[in-house]
Structure 1
């Protein structure tokens, strides 16, 4: 079914067949007991919720169930034509891993639109980076200093410290549950180091303060060795202190507040200027997905991703555990074997990682995903990968690694939203575009989140959280191209300072969650 073409307003849309090869159809409005949505002479034995699937044909036990033209699982029992297909009769199955790296690269390159240059109003930093926000960042190096960070930020806000500074967006808090009791050379340490440094030096941060206890493994002096700005342009705004040196909790809170107040006038001198859209790095993410996410919001974001690439900007797909089973669609578009091989190695690492912890990658979808109509990780991954559009895969990054390439890229992260977003922002993402079908209260700092609803009901029921509605792709016949263009326009508005719904709600101070890997000692 081609959703790129408008079809006019429909009061009740018939079952959706996404690919002629599909053996199931999706019910956009659900169906009641006794109805026969496909007119196969097989009335339903029970009610079915919107976004769920019914069989277009009979399936024998073990037979492949196909959606998006791809296998999403196999029948665990005989399924009659017209029957509800879900977790009671469909299960995860192994997928092929005979990867064809780069075989579709030329077609992917041709799919990138040729667009005229666009601009936004951003902050040009002294080190050459460009920001879309201007935050004061308070970062704890260890959990022991988290209370100091939260208390200092709270008191500054209550006292109205930022009220007189119109060019300062306020304070962003980065606290966590680690920083000590860890190997100072292990992967967990490296990740925390990259995440803290990536947030403190993010283009959306104008001034950063690191607060430690003093005796922890994550030493501030060690972090300074990572300072890679030859012009020292951030050093005068990179401040550190420890509770032990300041003389205790209360004195450190007062010292943090005094330092912020001292530097605010200088930080407020930053002014928005016209900047090329090609400098934007946009993270793509989905959470609390439903059966419509892979039909409306995710492919619309895929169109927007291709448009961003056409503008010379960067789009960052992540959530390795939620592309599992669909990685071939990305590998076929890889710019080189080296890029493809790095993604393959990440996939294999995840297989070993979940096995080591006695888990399964098909523990995903979540209960909420399944209630919304998603049955297996293969189905969810195929829908989630639609966010990537059709552009070539130009680079693959490790978690929280600094993103330097333009175009469509991939970053290895878990699927858990705050851990994923923390890594994407540490890599330099200016904002996150977050599609959801069940509803989400996610937000992020210093990079804001734009939330995109997959269906009309969600957009109407959570109006204070949702920025864009993709439900009208089905209800009003809006094309994917039109919706993709709408998303790009919203990105440019937000990059220029327009607040998102999550910013208006004050979200973002509790979503900083670095990926914790390694032994706690």
Structure 2
């Protein structure tokens, strides 16, 4: 068996399948290794002159900082960023290939009165402001999972750091209101209690009016000041939630089409294998989901930078392409304003796992979206309206990005990882896909799917189908690994981009 993997004949590098020592000459290389190369890292299979382009996946991942010889370890010491125009042409729509429609895939979902379909049955305790966080937590803590009736998945408080400290008309308040409204409408909630202080910038009546929401039997609200203080507000909230739990226990699951699934696509703690196994396998699952009429959301705008041309080539229209380019331009300006470089994005864990530039990381990240057309681009936490694949603008920070996806309507999250993320995101169950066998074995209590068989001959389509089938099982109520561990109460992180006054 070869000890290196060549992903594309045009590639200047191969990927080490195990640790390669100095002097080893793996099959596929014309010269011995000139340095030790760890598994998942890159080894040069072609000489590249200083300043020359370096390719992986058949795509540019950077320029050589210095001359690279065959057998060199290719990483941060000799590989730098490439300019946007270097080999990344974007012909809008040329790769649009509608998928053949499929039918028959179902899951046992929860059909709400307005025909929205959920995968979980939670009671949510939302907060209008940080000042009401403790009261909301105390209300939710009065309802431990072990004490809830069958069919009620939990009572969860969603707290944050915003809601005041700035103008009631600020962009952050608007963004927070939109995010909270997305949760208030989410089909994975049976009902919602909103807890406020009473004097915050994010006034509950104004927020509800701005977002077209109305208080009613399944959307309740209280403020600490009107309740008479902390203890009285907690007592009042517990009484409300007790009533809501009783009603939620009456809900029954029923078979529904996979077309009712909306999956948020996430990756974190990526390594050199993420773009080879887990991400493209998830992409294969997305293609199956979309073919069955379902929807998926790709996000994390800074983590598609350098691979946006692949999405633009799949844009369903020029308008979709224009919206994606507009978000990328915003991020360039945002980074410049704050003295940052988008290429600072690869984390220490990414670098240790073999990823070098944001171009390389982004090419792997985009693979999560499969081959389906890109049908829409929406802002953070904006309601999802298009079927199939959409892109939601967000930072590259996983909890913040997933929060936006859930607010936009994702009723399931699939999260790929190479280093070992331990992510959950109530109310949407989170499925973890491991990129390598070591991780899948070492952190088996956190990983739902092992995508590493792709490296030993398993067809990508088979691993993708396994992920798709796991989506259907979890959507039907089977706990994901993160749910079994009780993860997901603390990952509500609305995006804050503005200033505090």
**Superposition TM-score, scaled by structure 1 size:** 0.93
3-state SS in 1 of match to 2:199: coil
2:393 matches 1:401: no
Taking the aligned partners of 1:39 and 1:128, their CA distance within structure 2 comes to: 56
Taking the aligned partners of 2:57 and 2:28, their CA distance within structure 1 comes to: 22
Select which of 105, 110, 123 maps to 2:110.
Answer: 123
Select which of 499, 505, 521 maps to 2:479.
Answer: 499
2:100 matches 1:104: no
> 1:236-275 to 2 correspondence within 5 Å?
236-275=217-256
2:219 matches 1:208: no
Select which of 158, 164, 172 maps to 1:174.
Answer: 158
| 1:38 and 1:56 in contact (8 A); partners too | no
2:26 matches 1:37: yes
Shift of 1:250: 1.2
| 1:113 and 1:306 in contact (8 A); partners too | no
**What's the CA shift string for 1:125-182, capped at 9, x where partnerless?**
1112011100010111111111111122223228x541xx111101122100111012
| 2:2 and 2:27 in contact (8 A); partners too | no
Inter-CA distance 385–39: structure 2 relative to 1 (3 Å threshold): closer
Residue segments in structure 2 that go unaligned for 5+ positions in a row: none
| 1:205 and 1:446 in contact (8 A); partners too | yes
2:55 matches 1:66: yes
> 1:316-465 to 2 correspondence within 5 Å?
316-465=297-446
Taking the aligned partners of 2:137 and 2:304, their CA distance within structure 1 comes to: 36
| 1:38 and 1:82 in contact (8 A); partners too | no
Match of 1:148 in 2: 135
Taking the aligned partners of 2:184 and 2:156, their CA distance within structure 1 comes to: 10
| 1:286 and 1:434 in contact (8 A); partners too | yes
Match of 2:17 in 1: 28
Match of 2:470 in 1: 490
**What's the CA shift string for 1:213-266, capped at 9, x where partnerless?**
11001111012214547xx7x831101111111111111111111111122221
Taking the aligned partners of 1:445 and 1:87, their CA distance within structure 2 comes to: 37
3-state SS in 2 of match to 1:341: helix
2:74 matches 1:94: no
2:177 matches 1:188: no
**What's the CA shift string for 1:443-487, capped at 9, x where partnerless?**
011001000000000000001100000011113x21110011101
| 1:459 and 1:469 in contact (8 A); partners too | yes
Shift of 1:47: 2.6
Inter-CA distance 41–398: structure 2 relative to 1 (3 Å threshold): closer
3-state SS in 1 of match to 2:217: helix
Taking the aligned partners of 2:28 and 2:491, their CA distance within structure 1 comes to: 47
Taking the aligned partners of 2:364 and 2:272, their CA distance within structure 1 comes to: 9
Taking the aligned partners of 1:78 and 1:167, their CA distance within structure 2 comes to: 62
Match of 1:77 in 2: 66
Match of 2:39 in 1: 50
**Superposition TM-score, scaled by structure 2 size:** 0.97
Q: Cα RMSD between the aligned structures?
A: 1.5
Taking the aligned partners of 2:115 and 2:207, their CA distance within structure 1 comes to: 22
Match of 2:493 in 1: 513
| 1:182 and 1:518 in contact (8 A); partners too | no
Matched residues, number: 499
| 2:178 and 2:211 in contact (8 A); partners too | no
3-state SS in 1 of match to 2:247: helix
| 2:34 and 2:71 in contact (8 A); partners too | no
| 2:4 and 2:28 in contact (8 A); partners too | no
| 1:319 and 1:414 in contact (8 A); partners too | yes
Taking the aligned partners of 2:483 and 2:29, their CA distance within structure 1 comes to: 49
Match of 1:301 in 2: 282
Taking the aligned partners of 2:173 and 2:138, their CA distance within structure 1 comes to: 26
| 1:113 and 1:307 in contact (8 A); partners too | no
3-state SS in 1 of match to 2:32: coil
Taking the aligned partners of 1:148 and 1:421, their CA distance within structure 2 comes to: 25
Select which of 100, 119, 124 maps to 1:137.
Answer: 124
Taking the aligned partners of 2:173 and 2:332, their CA distance within structure 1 comes to: 22
Select which of 17, 21, 36 maps to 2:6.
Answer: 17
**What's the CA shift string for 1:248-287, capped at 9, x where partnerless?**
1111111111111122221111110111111110111110
Taking the aligned partners of 2:162 and 2:28, their CA distance within structure 1 comes to: 58
Residue segments in structure 1 that go unaligned for 5+ positions in a row: 1-11
Shift of 1:116: 2.2
Shift of 1:36: 2.1
| 1:195 and 1:423 in contact (8 A); partners too | yes
